Amino acid sequence: MQSDRIFGLVATVLALAYIVSANQTQISFLTDPVGPKGFPVLIGIIWALSGMFMVLRPDPQPEWPGLRTFGALAFAVVILIGYAYALKPLGFLLPTAVAAGVLSYQISPNPKHAVLTGIGLSGVLFVIFKYALGLGLVAVPKWLLG
Amino acid sequence: MDILANLALGFSIALSPYTLMLAVIGCFLGTIIGALPGLGPSNGVAILIPLTFALGLDATSALVLMTAVYYGAMYGGRISSILLNIPGDEPALMTTLDGYPMAKAGRAGDALVLSGVASFVGAFLATLGLIFLAPLLARVAFLFGPAEYFALYLLAFCTLGGMASNNQAKAAIASCIGLAIAMIGVDESSGLPRLTGGNLHLYDGVDFLVAIVGLFAITEVFFFIESHGKHSSLGVKLDKVSIPWKDIIACRWVMLRCSAVGFIAGVLPGAGASLGSFMAYMSEKSIAGEKGGFGTGVAKGIAAPEAGNNAAAGGALVPMLTLGVPGSGTTAVLLALLMTLNITPGPTLFTENPEVVWGLIASLLIANFVLLVMNVPMVKIFVRVLQVPPWVLMPGVTMISFVGIYSLSGSYFDLLLMVGFGVLGYIMRKLDIPTVPVILGILLGGHMETALRRAMLLSDGDWTYLFSSPISIGLWVAAVSGFVAPMFLRNILKKPQRVTD
């Protein structure tokens, strides 16, 4: 109930923001009957209406995990975002080993397995990507090696 | 005799050693991907697309490889359905209903072989259907103008939303989110940026591969973290594998009927493989009646959904290749592949690039036989794969996704977007909002808008032009009924729930 209502409300607000933002599109002097605004606005309206429908006719509440699991999920998201930022400046091996290890630990809390998974995956994947697929990955950046 | 000449052309391409090798590799990879719990056909194919790109394959080779993976994943999905009671993806759900009980009764080997044969029959007949139907439909598709295409895209969203989800409003929201994302970036006809919020990274729009990998692969990782991978231990023993001739022969009509049902469901744009296996299972259940014992582990209950599912997978290629409208989540991913390879699906594909189409079709026929060999005598190899623990598999999938997306553009921004889509996918799946319409929206949004604008340009802004030809009226009627009818049918046709231990 509650989850659907919240999602529907957020969806409606986003849809309205989308319509407003679509309306600010610059129009060039050469334009067709629909123009660059027409279709996005149409989508925004249907989007907002279905959002309202979700608020009015919500489905039963889904099973959400407990606070601890939510914490774990949030932590996983942080790790993935960090990984995205780290991939370029720190090279492939280090960030991959850390991120893979952490994710592995989160799925099954066994430190030994997690460390092995992290190191193993980063090494094996590097060899596959670099030599089998020919991607231009940097193993370790030069400044770290000194 | 056109077809024979075309097939000869196709086989001349498909039988070259290199293409043949790609098909075999694709089948092998695909079966593994399908068998691994948490990796279905859609996310498996999605993760592999950027990597295929990195290999620098030409269009035909890339297409052969990926469709072999696609067919292979459809075969492989049954392995985890039967042995683990985990459907690799939505269409495999029906196979768990009888497959798992049969495996628990000590007949795991029989269930695997029988479902493998049913998959073969379904996929083989569907490929034959594709050979005959696709050129016909391609000829009809020449009659399609922008108004018809607009109605057709609408039909795809409506049937997908209407049949594949439990709540129309939620499916509509998902479609709108996808379409809305597709609008971001520089407007093609005026050349001015739209809805970018001034962010330079968004001027090129959101790459559909980023969305697909995020929504499918990254979301799956979150679900594994939530469940700690608990549901994926092998609970059923597989001793020896023999061929249950008696069951196979008893199921011959079931397989034929279900192939037909599945193929038709697959051809409907937007309906796809889930509907195919569902319809196949339900129709056989009602033919068998109470005494049929469906749901307790009977042979027919395994043959029916597998034949239907694989026939639908082949059928879904028909609208994808001839009209550019995918019939299922995975064909949406294949459409993404075509678009990345700069191939525009549609009727012109058949006249301008016959070697691509017929090479692909011939490879599918070959792949099917390869898959039968891999999935019946060699099934034990793939069962081993199930023993890869999720705490190695899922981090591996994540890292491959990251590198794949990173290799596309080399920008951290795409990676952040991908994580964002992963979070969105998690929330949506928790709330029972389908994610496939989002993908479809991102893929088709641009085309749909162009069709609408061209139609309005032709008619000088007259909206009735959208309903002015018999074809478009038919498509509109089908779209509206495809969206509305399931609301009333839902109480009659209840989806069976998963069997629990």
ipTM, two decimals, is 0.93
Chain-chain contact of A69 with B415 (C-beta, under 8 angstroms) = no
Q: Angle at the Cα of B215 (from B210 to B217), degrees rounded to 5?
A: 90
CA atoms within 13 A on the CB side of A24: 9
Chain B, window 61-120: residues with a beta carbon less than 8 angstroms from a chain A beta carbon: none
Closest partner CB to B398 (pick from A72, A103, A110): A103
Q: Which domain holds residue A128?
A: 67-145
Residue B285 is classified by DSSP as H
What's the CA gap between B25 and B16, in Å, rounded?
Answer: 14
My answer on whether A84 and A121 are in the same domain is: yes
Within an 8 Å CB–CB cutoff, is residue B226 touching chain A? yes
My answer on whether A140 and A79 are in the same domain is: yes
My answer on whether A75 and A138 are in the same domain is: yes
For testing contact with chain B, the best of A6, A20, A50, A126 (most B CBs within 10 A): A50
My answer on whether A124 and A92 are in the same domain is: yes
Q: Kindly report, residue by residue over A27-42, the tens digit of the pLDDT.
A: 766 667 788 888 999 9
- Is A46 part of any domain? yes
pLDDT in tens, chain B (501 residues): 578 888 888 888 888 888 889 889 999 988 888 888 777 777 788 888 887 877 778 888 888 888 889 888 888 888 888 888 877 666 777 888 888 888 888 888 888 899 999 999 999 999 999 999 988 888 888 888 899 999 999 988 888 777 667 788 898 999 999 999 999 988 777 777 887 777 777 888 888 889 988 998 899 889 888 887 665 555 666 667 777 888 888 888 889 999 999 998 888 876 667 778 888 888 888 888 877 788 888 888 889 988 998 898 888 888 888 988 886 777 888 888 888 888 888 888 888 888 888 888 898 899 899 999 888 878 888 888 777 888 888 898 899 889 888 888 788 899 999 999 999 999 998 998 888 889 889 988 988 999 999 999 888 888 888 888 898 999 999 888 888 887 777 666 555 555 554
- Is A44 part of any domain? yes
List CB contacts (< 8 A) between B438 and chain A. Answer: none
Length of chain A: 146
Query: Which of A56, A77, A102 delimits the end of a domain?
Result: A56
My answer on whether A136 and A88 are in the same domain is: yes
List CB contacts (< 8 A) between A25 and chain B. Answer: 187, 192, 194-195
- Is A62 part of any domain? no
My answer on whether A34 and A101 are in the same domain is: no
Chain A, window 20-49: residues with a beta carbon less than 8 angstroms from a chain B beta carbon: 21-22, 25-28, 30-36, 38-40, 43-44, 46-47
Query: Which of A37, A56, A75 delimits the end of a domain?
Result: A56
CA distance to partner chain A, nearest, from residue B304 (Å): 31
Instruction: Sort strands B185-186 and B193-194 into parallel, antiparallel or unpaired.
Output: antiparallel
For testing contact with chain A, the best of B201, B225, B393 (most A CBs within 10 A): B225
My answer on whether A99 and A130 are in the same domain is: yes
Closest partner CB to B412 (pick from A7, A18, A88): A88
My answer on whether A48 and A75 are in the same domain is: no
My answer on whether A50 and A72 are in the same domain is: no
- Is A125 part of any domain? yes
- Is A124 part of any domain? yes
My answer on whether A135 and A76 are in the same domain is: yes
My answer on whether A74 and A129 are in the same domain is: yes
List CB contacts (< 8 A) between B187 and chain A. Answer: 25, 36
Q: How many domains are there within chain A?
A: 2
My answer on whether A137 and A79 are in the same domain is: yes
Within an 8 Å CB–CB cutoff, is residue A67 touching chain B? no
User: How does DSSP assign B76-111, residue by residue?
Assistant: HHHHHHHHHS--SSGGGHHHHHHHHHHIIIIIHHHH
- Is A61 part of any domain? no
